[in-house]
Structures are given as structure tokens and as C-alpha cells.
Amino acid sequence: MPRTQRVDAQANRGRILDVAEEVFGASGAAASTEEVARRAGVGIATVFRHFPTKAALLQAVLVRRYDRLREQAEALLGAEDPGSAFRDFFRHLVADAATKIAIGEALLHAGGDSDGEAAQASNGLRRAVGALLQRAQRAGAVRDDVELPEVYALLVAMSRLATDAEVTARALEIVFDGLAEVTGGGRRTVRP
């Protein structure tokens, strides 16, 4: 019987994390652990048994989110077209940013810090993005004088861009044009 409880507890934990990501991703600091418990179909005591504080819950959500993104980036390291893989993942990070920002701000509001497990998971994602960048550079799809800090600055700027999807898509194309390798005629080329 204890084995079944442990499986149930793991299922509850996973469901709580799924719901918390959705709830805090949509409402940020205004969201509550009570709403998470209600929507996950568990009592508030169950939430706090797994995550003793709201900050601990949010930290776990961010760690899982960063780990998932890192795994997606690592899966693209074997892509046939490294330039497309880099650009597609960049687009994905920009599209994903609003939810991540809301969760991160909720974590800070709950008294959590940006150090610890979430920072380690974020650094793992950063390394994976760096590997995608290097592959794209070796393939000639991204200029070789671009470094990861510049790519991350562009990611942050694009992630904070509060505009419609069409403007964001056009702005991304301008960013990719600026990152593209210069050809013999002095023009940058971006493959679709």
C-alpha cells in the first residue's frame, strides 16, 4: 500500500506543477496557491506537503520549465539544418517568454530568489542555446563574431516586446538578418 501512495503522491506533485505553471503563467503574482490546489483537485495541505512555501512551488515550476526548454534545445543539436534549428528555438523562447516572466515575477513577489536551483537550470538552458549558436555559426548561418551574451540580450529584448504577433515576427526577421553571416557581396543572408 505505501508504494501506491508514493505513486499517487508523485502524480499529485506532477499535477500541482502542471496547474501551477498554467495558473501563475497566466496571472503572475496575483495567482494563489489555493487556486492551484482547487484546479489540481487536491487540498491546500497537499500542495504545502510537496512545496512548503509559495516560493518553493514557483521555484520548482521554473526549474522544470528551464529543464524542459534545455531538453528541447539539446534535441535540436542533431538537426540537419543548424541555422533553422537556432532560429526556430530563438522564436520558441520569445513565444514562451511571457509565461516565464510572469512565473519569475511571481517568484520574486513570493520572496523567492533568483539563485539556487532555478539559476542552475537557467544556466543549463543558456549552455544549450550556446551550443545551438555554435553549430549555426559553424554551418555559416550565423556570423562568427556574435557571442552568447549578445544573443541573450537580443532574446531578452524580444521577449519583453509587447506588441502584436505580426510586429514580433517582423522584428524577429530583422534580428535574424542582423545575425546572419555576411556573404561575398556584403549582404547578409538568412535562410528561411
What's the CATH code, domain 2-179? Answer: 1.10.357.10
Question: pLDDT tens digit string along 103-119?
Answer: 999 999 998 876 788 89
Residues with Cβ within 8 Å of residue 81, at least 6 apart in sequence: 139, 141, 191
Q: 97 Cβ partners below 8 Å, 6+ apart? A: 155, 158, 159, 160
pLDDT tens digits along 10-56:
888 999 999 999 999 999 999 999 999 999 999 999 999 999 999 99
CA-wise closest residue to 181 among 139, 150, 148? 139
Per-residue model confidence as pLDDT tens digits over 86-101: 999 999 999 989 899 9
Using DSSP's 3-state secondary structure scheme, residue 114 falls into coil
The model's confidence at residue 187, banded by pLDDT at 50, 70 and 90, is very low
- The domain locations on the chain are 2-179
Rounded to two decimals, what is the model's pTM? 0.86
- Which residue in 99, 96, 102, 107 sits closest to 69, CA to CA? 96
Q: Which residue has the higher pLDDT, 162 or 52?
A: 52
